[in-house]
Structure 1
Amino acid sequence: MTALPRQGVREDWERRSGRRSQASEVGVALAAPTGPRPSTDLRAPTDLRAEDGRGQVSLRWQPVPGAMGYLVERAELGGGSFSTVDHGGRDVLAFPAPHYADTTGEPGRRYCYRVTAIADLEHDPGPRSSAVEGGPLLEGDATVTLRVQTDAETKPLRRVWHMIGSERLSQLADPVVLGGRRVAGEFAESLGIARDQLGADRVRAHAIFHDDLGVYRESNGRPHYDFSRVDGLYDQALAIGLRPVVELSFMARDLAAQPDRTVFTYGAIISPPRDWDRWGELCARLAAHLVERYGLDEVATWGFEVWNEPNLEVFWTGTQAEYFRLYDTAALAIKAVDERLLVGGPSTAAAGWIGAFCDHVLDEQVPLDFVSTHTYGNAPLNVREALRVRELDDVAVWWTEWGVTPTHFFDVTDGAFGAPFVLHGMKHAQDGADALAYWVISDHFEELGRAPRLLHGGFGLLTIGNLRKPRFWALALAEQLDDRLCEVELGGDGAGTLVDAWASRAVDGQVDVLAWNGTFDQSKAASDPLLQRHLAVAVSGLDAAAYDVTVARVDTRHSSIAANWDAEKAWPDDQEWAALRAADHLDIEDLGAATPTDGCIDVDLQLPMPGVVRIRLQPR
């Protein structure tokens, strides 16, 4: 089947992308459970309280054991019906932590709030908490205090962003020129930037079995394998310094039961195999070839992920039961090559099927090294809880796709809104995930068509031309933190919900304080003056005689390529490219020297929403 033209692909995507795959085949019962099931009956959240602030309400409650997340419900004060607060993320509404800043209400109005816990997304929520009253204010102090104790270390920083998402790696050999830029070379450069400036060490990409790589074909009924093009791509990725996460997708045409069912402009086949044994053999042959070429010690660090978002009709024409068979066949085939090879799934959209998948692998005693799933427009849910209640504590949690929106060509991705968003997400993932892969590194991305202009709402952290977007700078600032985090204490209007922070101290005494102000409410993506905060920072435990103080900023006016380019224009000319490259830097202000008083330095500044600041104290 010839791939659809771009507009046809977009229409097809929009028609099918929200549809869930069938839970089970008609007339085919899933195997009866062989072991105990964890209860999905969660208790109601307790101690819910609402803290009214300027432009927002901060809600806090006690965590519920076994909860993957929480739904916040709101009603008009005086008898209105409750509905789930929708922050416009276009994916999962549940929030992972027992605290949330609601900025979707009308300032000056009063509301009732209640909260319920969820065990997973396939079961009804648990009982609701008692309701409390709250409402966003039209005015107020709007000060957030941030106290940093540099002589009190906490848990080490976990750099969960070191796995990065990427368009299919065949772009490393793509001859297309776009916006005057050669895709192949610039795409390779973007991966190198991720490695050098974000610390990325793994890359996850689609379509290693797609026919453009010629991995599998049949002749006279016999299978033939050719991994030479895969070798070329993986050689390049490894030379850049990135280990592949091998996503076993999509289906090779000669192996597909429904070769005419496709997605994306490049016609990725989304069908189950017509021969399950040959599917297993393909997975085994690939794994064995990679071990032979790169060595077991190397490939054992990679990970083999089975398929992509099988719970969406747009990516999988089969049922849940057929996906489980796809996973089982692949996992057993890969482990037959060597037990040290890592395998995981279900690689679902919106944290779907997690409970059912974990129950399946326990019932069937199928290998599982990591659970993988995706979400957008929200902080990642606490999937670790679903594993804990099933005693799967040794299984890793990999979010192999995560981002500010699941929507292609959506302008929220180009502006500053995403900068605090990614930091909120990375902090939420510290205890609940082993990887949180931002999707994707580059706007060289062809799923629904190539970029029509420089700023087009692309998924990438980097534009065409590898200009850095605010989301990139936020992750770069996180990467510059030392592993040794210092104790931080936040107080005031929106502390820990709207405004959050990390701080670190290096061996040479350098102190970095990274603070951000952001809502998940995408109706406020451009900014909201009511959500601007005065940040009063006090850094204690300092032992040098004096420090040089600098402040790096990422917001709508600083470190934002969107502030330097008209989004309605198509592509820059040579002079405009030169100007954009000159503007492609992190905005840093030198505040001069400061002398500690009793080991403490105070810094006061305004923190817009959306906004990120990094205060650096460097011993003189």
Structure 2
Amino acid sequence: MRHLATLIIGCLPIAFLPAGAGNVDSTPVHVAMISSPSAPARVRVEDLRKITVDAGTAIGRLRSLQGVNGAPGPGGHKPENFKFGGWNMPEHVDASAGYRMARIDLVRTHDAYGPADIDARFESASAPGGGLISARRDVFDIFPDPDADPNNPASYNFAPTDQIIASIRKVGAQVMFRLGRSEGADAQPPKDFDKYATIAKHIVLHYNHGWAKGFHYGIRYWEIWNEPDLGKVFWAGTAHQYFELYGKLARAVRAADRRALVGGPAIARPNDDTPYRDAFLAYVRSERLPLDFYSWHWYATDSDDPLDFIRISKDMRARLDKHGFWRTRSMVTEWNYGLMDPTPTPVQRATFITAALIYMQDAPIDGATLYRADSVFGADGATPDKTGQALIALGRLKDTPYKLRVRGADLNGFAVQAARSDDGQTVQILLSNYEIPAEFLGPRQADDVLHVPPVFDVRLLARRSISYHNNGGYDLTIDHLPANRRYSVERCRISASQDFTSLGTTVQNELPIRLREELPPPGIELVTIRALDGSAGS
């Protein structure tokens, strides 16, 4: 892995590079060769994917899906001995530099293990994973004494949560505040729902209206609980008890701040016919409760298919519309590679994430928070791993917010996003070449259910049968750039051996611009085209 400063020098716009760095080859180039003329070609032209980008007409705006779980600042990382998933980090790490470079703009506060928890009690025999969380973290809860007066500011311990909220705000991101408890905490429902609602109201007042020496942050997103449908991992009560708690907390949040966006239930089993789908929506409708966003989670377990999120999102949108929630946002507030599958290589995970986020642009998904990102920028917070590098590449697309039409990409892993800047000076093309591992292709021998006895079962999506071909690289044509101008073309690559490495910058005079390059899966490449005189797009 390379330190952030090295990556900045390698792939920032030319104007930001120090003298002598990132020298441009001004020799006119029409087609970039697959290999040097003296070396044998390693990939046949017919094995390249033909991709065409129409730079002449924008077809809409990109939506920002650059959200994550995990505050960047110290104090709320996954404990070092909680190794499941690989997200554990030393408590002192500050990933703020990485978050800024990746331009993370929404951070969910779940799983900070004390901070942002109302009343978590760890090391409980009834809580899966609780033994991995030190009971000493209970002291970081917002409301540590369940018998205290919820109207008295002295009953609250805001300092640990203030610290992680401030770290989110300092990187320029919005906060999604999860009201409830982290994993590993006691899953029993609160004893007094009315008191719990009063506590929630005062948390909103503290962060949005200055109560108890608080702030005026204007936090918009308030998510009620986490995964109440996942056995008894987070919620040991009934579905109806959750509905009742949701109603009381939703009304309390809205009473404290009429601009607040309230949502839930953050379900873990979006494909299962549980009460947390249609029955929950029917309850919210009948009780006239606010539901500004409906949240759901998915890890592509036993499929490792980046299209899973799109398939689920279409079903979620249809259910919301069926119940009359046309304006309610659909948000996937936890997602990643298959959670129970063999650990992917670093570049495999990064390519999966990049492909999924590209596909989400054309799906009915209004927001996404990857689980999680505080661990992807290294122990110093400034040495991104492959996923961190991919998030930085995705963040660059904010400089080119207008979507361009792409032909030749597919929904099987060869994902391409093209866009141009407001001023028409820059076009960026992000390519992610991912292959689903062979063992996860085709129908399962057993049923489409993940069994985790005795805790829960999760219904999986049917796996797809895919035959990969002509995906050894790309034959990219950028059409309809204004003529009689010069263009710089820079390529930055993430692969097993390359850490968001600049492959050089050339100047091209002839149109259309055409690039032929190897990009074997798994691999990511960001192509940036800048007009050196005039505009890159009309």
Letter in 2 for 1:165: N
The equivalent residue for 1:548 is 488
Once the two structures are superposed, residues 408-451 of structure 1 have per-residue CA deviations (whole angstroms, 9 ceiling, x without a partner) of 9x632x511122312222133224112111111123xxxxxxxx
TM superposition shift of 1:349: 0.7
Task: Indicate conservation of the 8 Å contact 2:117/2:141, yes or no.
Answer: no
2:362 maps to 1:436? no
Q: Secondary structure at the match of 1:436?
A: strand
For 2:186 and 2:326, how far apart are their aligned partners in 1? 35
The equivalent residue for 1:12 is none
Cα gap change, 1:344/1:604 in structure 2, threshold over 3 Å: closer, same or farther?
A: same
Match of 2:173 among 222, 242, 251: 242
Letter in 2 for 1:501: V
Q: Secondary structure at the match of 1:340?
A: coil
Match of 2:317 among 358, 364, 384: 384
Cα gap change, 1:235/1:547 in structure 2, threshold over 3 Å: closer, same or farther?
A: closer
For 1:317 and 1:472, how far apart are their aligned partners in 2? 35
The equivalent residue for 1:497 is 412
The equivalent residue for 2:85 is none
For 2:78 and 2:433, how far apart are their aligned partners in 1? 39
Superposed, which structure 2 residues align to 1:76-95 within 5 Å? none
The equivalent residue for 1:154 is 59
The equivalent residue for 2:143 is 216
Letter in 1 for 2:70: S
Superposed, which structure 2 residues align to 1:527-546 within 5 Å? 532-543=471-482, 545-546=485-486
Letter in 2 for 1:589: L
The equivalent residue for 1:306 is 224
Letter in 1 for 2:331: W
Cα gap change, 1:508/1:185 in structure 2, threshold over 3 Å: closer, same or farther?
A: farther
TM superposition shift of 1:323: 1.2
Task: Indicate conservation of the 8 Å contact 2:229/2:267, yes or no.
Answer: yes
For 1:182 and 1:555, how far apart are their aligned partners in 2? 24
Cα gap change, 1:192/1:201 in structure 2, threshold over 3 Å: closer, same or farther?
A: farther
Please, what TM-score do these two structures have when normalized by structure 2? 0.69
Letter in 2 for 1:551: R
Instruction: State how many pairs are aligned.
Output: 411
Q: Secondary structure at the match of 1:500?
A: strand
The equivalent residue for 1:401 is 334
The equivalent residue for 1:368 is 291
Task: Indicate conservation of the 8 Å contact 1:172/1:185, yes or no.
Answer: no
Letter in 2 for 1:324: F
Task: Indicate conservation of the 8 Å contact 2:250/2:289, yes or no.
Answer: yes
Structure 1 vs Structure 2 CA RMSD: 3.4
Once the two structures are superposed, residues 294-332 of structure 1 have per-residue CA deviations (whole angstroms, 9 ceiling, x without a partner) of 899955443111111111121211121111112111112
For 1:510 and 1:540, how far apart are their aligned partners in 2? 14
Task: Indicate conservation of the 8 Å contact 1:529/1:609, yes or no.
Answer: no
TM superposition shift of 1:203: 3.7
Q: Which runs of 5+ in 2 are unaligned?
A: 1-43, 83-87, 121-137, 301-305, 442-466, 533-538
Task: Indicate conservation of the 8 Å contact 1:346/1:373, yes or no.
Answer: yes
The equivalent residue for 1:143 is 48
Please, what TM-score do these two structures have when normalized by structure 1? 0.60
TM superposition shift of 1:169: 7.2
TM superposition shift of 1:392: 1.0
2:384 maps to 1:465? no
Task: Indicate conservation of the 8 Å contact 1:171/1:184, yes or no.
Answer: yes
Match of 1:513 among 409, 413, 429: 429
TM superposition shift of 1:602: 0.9
Q: Secondary structure at the match of 1:426?
A: helix
2:479 maps to 1:479? no
Cα gap change, 1:364/1:591 in structure 2, threshold over 3 Å: closer, same or farther?
A: same
Task: Indicate conservation of the 8 Å contact 2:189/2:236, yes or no.
Answer: yes
The equivalent residue for 1:164 is 68
For 1:347 and 1:234, how far apart are their aligned partners in 2? 20
Once the two structures are superposed, residues 471-523 of structure 1 have per-residue CA deviations (whole angstroms, 9 ceiling, x without a partner) of 222222222120012111116xxx34331211122225222111121134474
TM superposition shift of 1:218: 4.4
The sequence identity of aligned pairs, in percent, is 20
Cα gap change, 1:328/1:169 in structure 2, threshold over 3 Å: closer, same or farther?
A: farther
Superposed, which structure 2 residues align to 1:551-566 within 5 Å? 551-559=491-499
Letter in 2 for 1:368: L
Task: Indicate conservation of the 8 Å contact 2:89/2:379, yes or no.
Answer: no
For 1:474 and 1:175, how far apart are their aligned partners in 2? 24
Of 380-389 and 314-323, more deviation after overlay is shown by 380-389
Q: Secondary structure at the match of 2:237?
A: coil
Match of 2:406 among 488, 513, 518: 488
